[in-house]
Amino acid sequence: MSESDVYRRQGFGNSSGFGAQPALLIVDFVNGFNDPDLFGGGNIPQAIERTAVLLDAARKAGVPVCFTRVVYADDGSDAGVFCLKAPGLKILTEEHRSSAVVDELTPARGEYVLRKTQPSAFFGTDLVGWLVKRRVDTVIVTGATTSGCVRATVVDALSHNFKTIVAVDCVGDRALGPHEANLFDMGQKYADLMTGAEIAAKFTKA
Catalytic residues: 149
Q: CA separation (Å) from 90 to 11, 76, 81, 106, 143? A: 41, 6, 11, 23, 20
Integer distance in angstroms from the first to the last C-alpha of the chain? 40
The CA distances from residue 150 to 110, 162, 179, in Å, are: 23, 15, 10
C-alpha distances in Å from residue 136, one per residue of 63, 104, 127, 160: 10, 25, 11, 12
Q: How far is CA 193 from the centre of its chain?
A: 13
- Answer whether 105's CB lies under 8 Å from 67's CB: yes
